[in-house]
Amino acid sequence: MLLSCFQPLLQSPGCHWLGWDLSTGPEQACAAMDRELASREAAAAPLFDICFLGLGSDGHVAGLFAPPTVAGQAPAEDVDRQALFTAQAGPSWQGLAPTEPRQRVSLGLAALRSSRHIRFLLRAAGKHRACASLLDGRGDGAGVRLLRSLGPQTESVAAYILD
């Protein structure tokens, strides 16, 4: 949907749409994305002028789900998922979601943080609680974690609710 909206702009010099090529599988898609982002990282900061994100009813964004916790600690088997929410996380990630479609590829929060503008597009009933958490900064979802960790390169954040 976004690609069709921005198609006329993609003809402009210097404009580049960055997407996933899943035709060879998730590991290869992540490796290709990591190479693309590494080539951009040296040239410009932030990586993205604008980043559009959805928001799940549980507060997840970009296929990044809060790791399950046991007594406040992430279980050992979820160390990789916990890494998604740290500065050391790689630019891309592939793993399993708690709901279908289970297999996901995503940019990690470190890459998403490197956006000049972030826009949340919320569509579908049942996301009001997640949106309220996002806007007031409470909760443990990836959207809230992303907003808490933004640096000075992020100039604006906005949420658009389409119900």
pLDDT in tens, 70-110: 445 444 444 444 455 454 455 776 777 777 777 778 888 77
91 φ/ψ angles, rounded to the nearest 5 degrees: -65, -30
The tokens for 93 are: 């990630």
73 φ/ψ angles, rounded to the nearest 5 degrees: -120, 140
Q: Is residue 62 part of a domain?
A: yes
Number of domains into which the chain is organized = 1
Q: Is residue 93 part of a domain?
A: yes
Q: Is residue 41 part of a domain?
A: yes
Q: Is residue 5 part of a domain?
A: no
Structural domain of 82: 20-162
- pLDDT tens per residue across span 36-50: 888 876 666 788 888
Q: Is residue 68 part of a domain?
A: yes
For 121, residues 6+ apart whose C-beta sits below 8 A from its C-beta are: 52, 53, 54, 160, 162
Residue 69: per-residue pLDDT: 47
CATH of the domain at 41: 3.40.50.1360
Residue 157: per-residue pLDDT: 84
The whole-angstrom separation of Cα 49 and Cα 155 is 10
The whole-angstrom separation of Cα 126 and Cα 111 is 28
Residue 11: per-residue pLDDT: 80
Mean pLDDT of 24-33: 87
- pLDDT tens per residue across span 108-147: 877 888 888 888 888 777 788 888 888 888 877 778 888 8
Q: How many helices (H) and strands (E) does the chain have?
A: 6, 5
Share of the chain above pLDDT 90, in %: 1
pLDDT, averaged across the chain: 75
Q: Is residue 3 part of a domain?
A: no
Q: Is residue 1 part of a domain?
A: no
Q: Is residue 4 part of a domain?
A: no
- Beta bridge partners of residue 117, listed in sequence order: 50, 156
Share of the chain above pLDDT 70, in %: 79
The tokens for 149 are: 């960790």
